[in-house]
Structure 1
Amino acid sequence: MQTGIRLIAAWIVWLAGAGLAWAGGLQELEAFNAKVKTFEARFVQVAIDDPARASDRQSGQLWIARPGRFRWEYAGGLDQVILSDGKTLQLYDRPLAQVTRRPLDQALAATPAVLLSGRGDLSAQFDLAEEPSREDLSWVTLTPRSPDTDFRVIRLGLRGGVIQRMELEDHFDQQTRIDFSQIRVNKPIDEGVFRLKLPAGVEVIEE
């Protein structure tokens, strides 16, 4: 379950600046709660220190419907689904035929994913700073105020008011890059996306 929570921590923070009219990075982050209701995108995730390693390259799709619902799904490779219906967080590992469930608030309390709920104060959760532009992107750094988070630093790369890239550095100096494409903001999402259909024989673990 820890792997799933770390992945959630990675991508939810990115959503804090997504899909807004062009502005400075900090302005986009502050405006997110009022602007974005639904979000859909493709993603590619690689290890920054060695992006050529096939084992560290993952891809898939994500869907978000505020407040509190999301689906982060890996295609091939890791082959996991991380899903929230607004109350319960589920991590479905297809190769293991196992689902782990826990209350959403409990699962997200110590991660940047608290932003998804819409109840968190961004400036209370993170120290925010703008960085110089690079690679044709505007950058914002988020440093968690709490020591009980999986990531030491989170960097968001924006262009045209939409997050294009996310860079994460954990407490073991491991770095991950996530690139987003085919982004759709405030478009209808089928309710079935946020329901997890399990085949017979899958083990369910309640935490």
Structure 2
Amino acid sequence: MIAALVTSALLAALPAADSPAAQAVVRRVEELHARAGDLTARFVQIYRSGLLGREVTERGVVSIKRPGRMRWEYKDPEAKTFISDGRRFYFYVPADHQVIVRQQDEERSIPSLLLSGKGDILGQFTAELDTPPAEGLLRLRLTPRRAEPEIERVVVDVEPSGRVRQIQVEDTQGNRSRFRFDDIRENVGLPEKLFRFEVPAGVEVIQG
């Protein structure tokens, strides 16, 4: 009896096996975004605290340009900017009068990974198809192959073409970040200057 219980517990702890159909959808997502020279979209981010149960909603515009450049411009309710120029990552909040700078290879944002088309998603996650949220959409459930506190699961809603419409990231503390994307456009010719950051006068630089 005890042996059976132990075996059941060990099996439950193992990551779910990949679904071939889900793997095909993931590859479609990677291929579509890898083909796009650039991408821009409006986004709504809703963060829910697992401890406090409070929700915070933010809105802005995301811009991505291959290779390795991105800009998340938050406009409401507080202005803040995340920029990667391909080498360094900048996080700037005007109200704080400071910018945090770190090497780009330390940036592990799941939305950025999915939208850039540069990540090995199936190398990091198992993939399963879940119940579609609406007609014309597919839902992927991604589970980390290696346990980590920052990510317990990722739920991704995509069009059949592979275009990402919504990403939800949940951690082991019950916190949840949901990104919804609208007005998505690819290959619009985003200018290089959009991904450059010049430190404003009087702003403190913190090496992160």
TM-score in terms of structure 2 length: 0.75
- Please identify, of 179-188 and 121-130, the stretch whose mean Cα deviation from structure 2 is larger: 121-130
- Sequence identity percentage: 29
Residue 91 of structure 1: aligned partner? 91
Aligned residue identity for 2:198? K
Cα displacement (A) at 1:55:
6.3
What SS is found at the alignment partner of 2:198? coil
Aligned residue identity for 2:146? S
Q: 1:46 to 1:90 in 2, by over 3 A?
A: same
Residue 121 of structure 1: aligned partner? 120
Residue 10 of structure 2: aligned partner? none
Cα displacement (A) at 1:85:
0.4
Q: Bigger radius of gyration, 1 or 2?
A: 2
Aligned residue identity for 1:72? W
C-alpha distance in structure 1 between counterparts of 2:128 and 2:77, whole Å: 35
Residue 180 of structure 1: aligned partner? 181
Compute the RMSD of aligned alpha carbons. 2.6
TM-score in terms of structure 1 length: 0.75
Instruction: Show CA shifts across 1:26-69 (max 9, x none).
Output: 3423424642221100001124689xx99611000010011110
C-alpha distance in structure 2 between counterparts of 1:181 and 1:101, whole Å: 29
In structure 2, the gaps of 5 or more residues are 1-23
Confirm whether residue 170 of structure 1 aligns to residue 171 of structure 2: yes
Q: 1:97 to 1:36 in 2, by over 3 A?
A: same
Aligned residue identity for 1:169? E
Instruction: Show CA shifts across 1:58-94 (max 9, x none).
Output: 0000100111100011003232111100000111111
Contact 1:58 1:74 in 2 (8 A): yes
In structure 1, the gaps of 5 or more residues are 1-23
Alignment of 1:41-56 (within 5 A): 41-47=41-47, 56=56
Alignment of 1:21-100 (within 5 A): 25-32=25-32, 34-47=34-47, 56-100=56-100
